[in-house]
Amino acid sequence: MTQKLGERIIEAFLFVSAATAVTVVAMITIFLVREGLPVIVKVGVANFGLGMKWNPIAMTGEPSYGIFPMIVASFYVAIGSLVLAVPLGLACAVFLAEIAPAGVRSIIKHAVELLVGIPSVILGFVGLVLLVPFIRDHFGGWGFSILACSIILAIMALPRIISVSDDAIRAVPKDYKEASFALGATHWYTIRKVIVPSARSGIVAAVILAMATSIGETMAVLMVAGNVSMLPSPIYDILDPVRPMTANIALEMNYATGDHAQALFATGVVLFIVVAVLDAISHKALKSKMGVER
């Protein structure tokens, strides 16, 4: 009898543990909305989301809380990082899955694991002392720029793209490959026309996930973005400084009060929604892959 009771207590504890994550997510949502919503209502959704001017501590006149340039900046640096990291990451994944001898594969796999482990603040620091002066000296501009952000984010995204794409490529049934070889195709032709297309949805999931991670990254971009809250002008000028949403929160949270602090929480709400939507799309892509695979 007592044993039965003990089992019930343990099961209850396990259930509470399991429910913790959901509870925390619910509380994050409640607290962000509670802190952030009033200011969005006050200035208006359009003025907040599409407003061009961020001037929370106005010396004269009304403060303004427009985060449109920051939303653009977040997507801009994330897409920039993908442009750099996807071709390289995909090539590495193909190499690991198809070409690398076992010894080389395990060395590179471990190197990639270590790269994931490097704290983002260290990558940001390397960007600050190495990349920013390099860009300033060789490409012009201030150095703190979209380009610097994209490169640092690409280095962070690279290992994730490699390992997820590697898994996706290795999950492609061997028969496909052998059938292609039997038809006389070269290894490269097989990779290009058979293997990569079959692993497509897994790779797409990896890319979208990398984009979500890049948009959510704070420290690395904070240290190299320049943090100017304006659209780059002209818009394609990748040497202009920007301020992504994450950097906005990190920069000002320490001294913000009142509406200003609420506007930072509201920035967090937008960031949260953007990242959650991208994550959901990525999960969808992975699920559809699983359907085909087995």
Footprint (CB under 8 A) of other proteins, residues 216-275? 216-219, 222-223, 246, 249-250, 253-254, 264-265, 268, 271-272, 275
Decide if 184 contacts 59 (C-beta within 8 A).
Answer: no
Residues in 180-199 at the binding interface with other proteins, rule: CB under 8 A: 185-189, 191-192
Say whether residue 13 binds other proteins (CB under 8 A): yes
Decide if 187 contacts 178 (C-beta within 8 A).
Answer: no
Closest approach of other proteins to the CB of residue 200, in Å: 18
* Rounded Cα gap, residues 111 and 212, in angstroms: 23
The token pair at 39 is 């200011």
SS3 (DSSP) at 254: coil
Pick 8 or 46: Cβ nearer other proteins = 8
- Which helix (H) or strand (E) segment is 247 a member of? helix 245-252
Residues in 104-163 at the binding interface with other proteins, rule: CB under 8 A: 104, 107-108, 110-115, 117-126, 128-130, 155, 158, 162
Say whether residue 167 binds other proteins (CB under 8 A): no
DSSP letters for 139-179: T-S-S-SHHHHHHHHHHHHHHHHHHHHHHHHHTS-HHHHHH
* Rounded Cα gap, residues 44 and 48, in angstroms: 6
Pick 192 or 233: Cβ nearer other proteins = 192
Closest approach of other proteins to the CB of residue 252, in Å: 10
Residues in 48-87 at the binding interface with other proteins, rule: CB under 8 A: none
The token pair at 229 is 């809250």
Closest approach of other proteins to the CB of residue 236, in Å: 26
Kindly determine how many residues on this chain lie close enough to bind other proteins according to the rule CB under 8 A.
88
Say whether residue 21 binds other proteins (CB under 8 A): yes
Pick 2 or 60: Cβ nearer other proteins = 2
Decide if 70 contacts 245 (C-beta within 8 A).
Answer: yes
Closest approach of other proteins to the CB of residue 280, in Å: 9
Residues in 199-218 at the binding interface with other proteins, rule: CB under 8 A: 212, 215-218
Pick 41 or 99: Cβ nearer other proteins = 99
* Rounded Cα gap, residues 65 and 53, in angstroms: 6
The token pair at 75 is 């997507």
Residues in 31-50 at the binding interface with other proteins, rule: CB under 8 A: 31-32, 34-35
Pick 60 or 254: Cβ nearer other proteins = 254
Pick 223 or 239: Cβ nearer other proteins = 223
Torsion region of 55: left, alpha or beta (phi above 0 gives left; psi -120 to 50 gives alpha) = beta
* Rounded Cα gap, residues 294 and 291, in angstroms: 6
Closest approach of other proteins to the CB of residue 61, in Å: 28
How far does Cα 116 stand from its chain's mean position?
Answer: 13
